[in-house]
Chain A
Amino acid sequence: EDKVVQSPLSLVVHEGDTVTLNCSYEVTNFRSLLWYKQEKKAPTFLFMLTSSGIEKKSGRLSSILDKKELFSILNITATQTGDSAIYLCAVEAGGTSYGKLTFGQGTILTVHP
């Protein structure tokens, strides 16, 4: 059974801090790893990672994948109150389970002014 574990489950920081969110996974047929941000209702897509060691960057957010050790990290620098959200990691399977996403339980990030 495919499995995705995120840590920490919750994190409280102050504006300006840098945070690192972790995602480890076990999947039979790995295709990609995705990060989402969920603020109120629907998650919004952040990054898709398929290759090890290649950092994806978008503003203050960046993410990298290690396919050997089976984990990914999401970094947020100079955090702002608007970064407060649930951050979800998901792994996409290939092969016979093509298109199936398995999500982690999420990390609840709270950024105080």
Chain B
Amino acid sequence: DGGITQSPKYLFRKEGQNVTLSCEQNLNHDAMYWYRQDPGQGLRLIYYSQIVNDFQKGDIAEGYSVSREKKESFPLTVTSAQKNPTAFYLCASSIGGRQETQYFGPGTRLLVL
């Protein structure tokens, strides 16, 4: 079945540690996105990529990094520079600029120890 997957479901980070969240899609979508969700704040865009080997910063990119070496993969690294990483992270993909076909993954909850 086609879809978008994220792993792990839960992730624990120690102080000063970098962690990487995985996002994979087999929908042949060109565009992929990372959002962060905090209570009462909806979804905020971290990074997005419209094509392989290219990505743009969203509204809250500081403390995060991404790569897009393959069309199907868009991993997000939460660096030690992100001082408040505890949140729910959602990855999404869409057919190029067609936002109505944006599919979301199941999400990863990141907790700081």
Least CB separation from A108: chain B residue: B40
Q: How large is the interface on B (under 10, 10 to 19, 20 to 34, 35 or more residues)?
A: 20 to 34
The segment from B11-19, B44-52, B77-85 found at the interface with A is: B44-52
Q: Contact: A45 with B100, CB < 8 Å?
A: yes
Q: Contact: B48 with A99, CB < 8 Å?
A: yes
Q: A42-B90, A42-B105, A101-B33 are in contact. Are A106 and B99 (CB under 8 A)?
A: no
Q: Contact: A88 with B48, CB < 8 Å?
A: no
Q: Say yes or no: is A22 at the interface (Cβ < 8 Å to chain B).
A: no
Q: Contact: A9 with B104, CB < 8 Å?
A: no
Chain A residues bordering chain B, tally (CB within 8 A): 25
Chain A residues with CB under 8 A of B50 = 98-99
| Distance in Å: Cβ of B10 to nearest Cβ of chain A | 12
Q: Say yes or no: is A41 at the interface (Cβ < 8 Å to chain B).
A: yes
Chain A residues with CB under 8 A of B99 = 31-32, 34, 48, 90, 92, 99, 101
Interface string of A74-101 (1 = CB under 8 A from B): 0000000000000010101000001111
Q: How many A-B residue pairs have CB under 8 A?
A: 63
Q: Say yes or no: is A25 at the interface (Cβ < 8 Å to chain B).
A: no
Q: A42-B90, A48-B99, A92-B99 are in contact. Are A103 and B104 (CB under 8 A)?
A: no
Bound together, the chains give a CA A42 to CA B42 distance in angstroms of 12
Q: Say yes or no: is A7 at the interface (Cβ < 8 Å to chain B).
A: no
Interface string of B77-113 (1 = CB under 8 A from A): 0000000000000100010110111101111000000
User: Other than the known A101-B45, A101-B99, A105-B42, what 4 A-B pairs have Cβ atoms closer than 8 Å?
Assistant: A44-B104, A88-B43, A100-B56, A103-B35
Residues of B within 8 A of A (CB): 31, 33, 35, 40-45, 48, 50, 56, 58-59, 90, 94, 96-97, 99-102, 104-107
Please name 17 pairs of A and B residues whose Cβ atoms are closer than 8 Å in the assembled complex, sorted by A: A1-B59, A32-B99, A42-B105, A43-B104, A45-B101, A88-B43, A92-B99, A99-B48, A99-B50, A99-B94, A99-B96, A99-B97, A100-B56, A101-B33, A104-B42, A105-B41, A105-B42
